[in-house]
Structure 1
């Protein structure tokens, strides 16, 4: 039963006033939503099937995609949804797959003598270009610090250096990632988009570099080398482009920190000293007097992958939309574990989030159609750079100006119930008033991401919609566990990251404790239902990077 009350208005006013300073807070209509059961059996069943070996790791364009489409369309229809793209459940997403083969070692000459770095153990490399082979020979090597060109911050690591046709070596993350607080040129310890590998390759291409190598350092990268190796070997998917990738560098890749230290030492440079210098505004790129060579062949295949969309039409305002997103894809086959298992099943990441779409669809349909329509969007190619969600953001089936907001679900850890939830990007939008209302009803609290330096805000599909102005929540499970507190919560997260994330051992476990996940899904239902019954249009807070885009789209509505 839903009562259209402003029961939680005082709480939401306080939250928005805190974000907006002295500005007039926004009054939001936050209807009270009665709790509804979300099916744990559905969560277990769909997660188990999606992450079974039969689905082969759910790589886009594979047999695993076909099986995923068949399963989700069947379960969406059974839940009571309608096809979300006209009379189709699918939104085709054109992709190109490029797999590097016969990769030579990365050889470096000059300095104190020749060096050779092996593919896989020392470095990984590939290309975004649709070309049969890549051969980079004797390319001058330049250390460009963090590889950032941000005019609005007065920061340009490429100033005064010509890197056209050269190989640039780049540090991961932002210059102030190890700050103690959130102050600094790049948000202090909170990563900005300038810290993401996607940006660094984009900027290197704009500067005309032939190759870009990011130095892998586990702390600022936030994951081990094994994650890089499993994610960057095998077929790599990209959005098809009119120029067939020609505007990109010839080669992009990663190099182990130890290998980078050796490379710089050969040029008479100290890695730690240069890294410290790169943190300061005014840093000048350093030509190393070295030349790099690497070559590889490419197996190229174009494929049509798919976003999978279901909709529960609204009862009163069907042309206004609330969105739930999750990515259905994973890595397919990857580097084998010691036991020979080479299927990256992606049970937690993100069979759980995909299963949540089905379970929430069932709950919404059983409760009856809300006033606004609710869209359930399972996107492809998240693991390849948020490609499916970016395609939807650029080619929306439902107008983004009339999309009220949404919730993204990516990787539910089976750590047990918690006293809190973690909000990635906390303080960015008025959607948090709806979250806080739901939390207050069950005596839980929202806490900010404890590791904003890891850049999680830019690493999942909500970001693709946020860039288009749509307010999106990204809420992870809490770390303050009922059993064991924050120590146990942090240990559980670390265990997953170290031992299973992006590896063959992210597998379904019938012994999982689902209680914490189900509590979080109950919150997600109440937030989405409240949005779907509300008359308000929550926005990004004043001054947020996405506010102007949203204001422009809504003004043209």
Structure 2
């Protein structure tokens, strides 16, 4: 189905639902509850909520206590916790990445020019004179007839790749998904594919527009302790990024004649290009194995208790890191104390309002900032059967500055969850739009993605385009300011004197009412034709 499906389909859907059982009353989300939990979770007391830290202990105990106070049952047997085994690797990267080239040797400087990490739990991991090979976008996509790794034995070599995918670069709607990022464009995919190809290293070239964030975000997110699930999947020894300026130095130093690497990468018959230079870098590791925790609470349904609606939000942030303007605590007020507080506020509304016929599950997942690890572990080890899970409603980084006219749905067109959200949005006097920046790949950047991968239709939305009292141009300025100066920075803090939560409350009320509507029905929302997640549901 075309993602911008027509009004007639929507009217038909809403019309057929009018005969369903209606909920005559609904609960209300409490702004006092929301504000209280955001302020507490984003306080310095919780130390940036980093997994494997004192901040984690405080956070998960707080959530356990609050769910218990509300009268929700433990969601994992007799426990509120699902243990998530992780390995923490704190790598000390050599200050220089040494580049040898026929045009002269030079160094790239750690943090300024490059960042690097390893997922291999070994004391020391590195590249030693590893041949650099430009691998285009680093994509192997048989359905598009695309293979950027073809024709090279990758053992011992390092792939240098572009971020995003060819559709973004060309805006050609017939190439991949045009301006909409596919999973092939995500950094996670590029690291995974390099491992599958047997490369020793993989280096992504950063560019702000196709990455959708600045070099400062790469610096803050790819340094310090890193977590990963224990896995037998192949991984490259070194995973890294280089700045655009550093990439230019590499290309300028390459002896090959055609320097227009970006254009070369857009050719469908592209083949990997040896760059004629070698790289050396080393990482010395401190390794710690431990278990982090997903926090799970259950409100049992009245009549169909074996069918589940899951609300999710990640409780973690980046902990204590490099100081910025003298502040080293990455509090994560918007990202994602807002969503975690939203779980508690919605749980309270369900307890006070009409009781759901289906069971409602609240999952605060760990290690989203490390690569959606908590939700990935849940997807691999589900507590509630996926085939009995009706839908997922995910909340991440809610920051609307006042009530918003729009409800922007990320992944619009994938499933009937769009129509459920539209019905409630219309009651609120709002209009629904698809994500206006699909090139940023937000559908693959939060925990709903892992629920979708196992076939569970997911809603990921928020008001973000136009306010009732604030115009779209002003909203864009505020969003850009957050992305540039607060996202993954210590400045993402909560100030009760200046923060307007009315828009977040508006969104939460919609999420609550979508779940309440689903809880009264006996059907499951469907994936639309053309969604890559439809097959996973049909296999259940």
In the superposition, the TM-score normalised over structure 1's length comes to: 0.92
Alignment partners' CA distance in 1, 2:539 and 2:310: 20
Distance 1:344 1:504 in 2: 4
Aligned residue for 1:138? 129
Task: Tell me the equivalent position of 1:68.
Answer: 59
CA distance in 1, matches of 2:84, 2:324: 31
Alpha-carbon offset, residue 268 of structure 1:
3.6
Q: Which residue of 1 aligns with 2:316?
A: 329
Given the alignment of the two structures, is residue 284 of structure 1 paired with residue 283 of structure 2, yes or no?
no
CA distance 1:541–1:250, change in 2 (3 Å): same
* Equivalences, count: 532
Alignment-derived partner of residue 221 in structure 1: 211
Aligned mate of 1:210, from 200, 205, 219: 200
1:352 matched to 2:342? The reply is no
How far has the Cα of 1:130 moved from its partner?
0.5
Contact 1:39–1:359 at 8 Å: present in 2 too?
Answer: yes
- Correspondent of 2:98 among 101, 104, 107: 107
In structure 1, what is the Cα distance between the partners aligned to 2:257 and 2:367? Answer: 38
Gaps of 5+ in 1: 1-10, 19-24
Distance in 2 of aligned mates of 1:190 and 1:487? 22
The partner residue of 2:32 within 36, 41, 49 is 41
Which position in structure 2 is the counterpart of 1:305? 292
- Tell me: CA distance 1:484–1:269, structure 2 relative to 1, closer, same or farther (3 Å): farther
Cα 1:26/1:109, change in 2 over 3 Å: farther
Which position in structure 2 is the counterpart of 1:512?
499
Q: Which residue of 2 aligns with 1:5?
A: none
1:410 aligns with 2:400: no
Q: For 2:183, which of 189, 193, 196 is the aligned residue?
A: 193
2:514 is the alignment partner of 1:527? yes
SS at match of 1:281: coil
Whole-angstrom CA distance in 2 between matches of 1:309 and 1:455: 28
1:273-304 deviation digits (Å, cap 9, x = unpaired): 11012122111211011011001201110110
Q: Distance in 1 between matches of 2:187 and 2:108?
A: 21
Shift of the alpha carbon at 1:104?
Answer: 3.6
Q: CA deviation at 1:136?
A: 1.4
Contact 1:84–1:375, Cα closer than 8 Å, also in 2: yes
Determine which of 460, 473, 488 is the counterpart of 2:474: 488
Matched, 1:503 2:493: no
Q: Runs of at least 4 residues of structure 1 off by over 6 A?
A: 25-28
CA–CA separation in structure 1 for the residues paired with 2:403 and 2:377: 35
Q: Corresponding residue for 1:538?
A: 525
SS in 2 for 1:168: strand
- Structure 2 unaligned segments of length 5 or more: list them: 1-5
Q: Distance in 1 between matches of 2:315 and 2:19?
A: 33
CA deviation vs aligned residue, 1:95-123 (integer Å, no higher than 9, x gap): 00011115241111013111101111110
**Partners of 1:172 and 1:215 within 8 A in 2:** yes
Name the counterpart of 1:233: 223
For residue 38 of structure 1, report the CA deviation from its aligned partner.
0.6
**What's the secondary structure of 1:130's corresponding residue?**
coil
After the TM superposition, which residues 77-476 of structure 1 pair with which residues of structure 2 at under 5 Å, given as runs?
77-180=68-171, 183-241=173-231, 243=232, 247-268=234-255, 273-338=260-325, 340-476=326-462
RMSD of aligned alpha carbons: 1.9
Q: SS at the partner of 1:334?
A: strand
Contact 1:429/1:541, CA 8 A, preserved across alignment: yes
Displacement, 1:489? 1.3
In structure 2, distance between residues paired with 1:199 and 1:250: 16
Cα distance between partner residues in 2 of 1:461 and 1:212: 25
In 1, Cα distance between the equivalents of 2:369 and 2:270? 33
Distance 1:513 1:189 in 2: 33
Which residue matches 2:9?
14
**Aligned 8 A contact 1:12 1:437 in 2:** no
Contact 2:310 2:393 in 1 (8 A): yes
Match of 2:3 in 1: none
Distance in 2 between residues matched to 1:522 and 1:445, nearest whole Å: 15
* Structure 1 residues 280 and 32, CA gap change in structure 2 (3 angstroms): farther
How far is the alpha carbon of 1:55 from its aligned partner? 0.8
Structure 1 position 433, deviation (Å): 1.5
Instruction: Say if 1:92 and 1:16 are closer, same or farther in 2 by CA, change over 3 A.
Output: farther
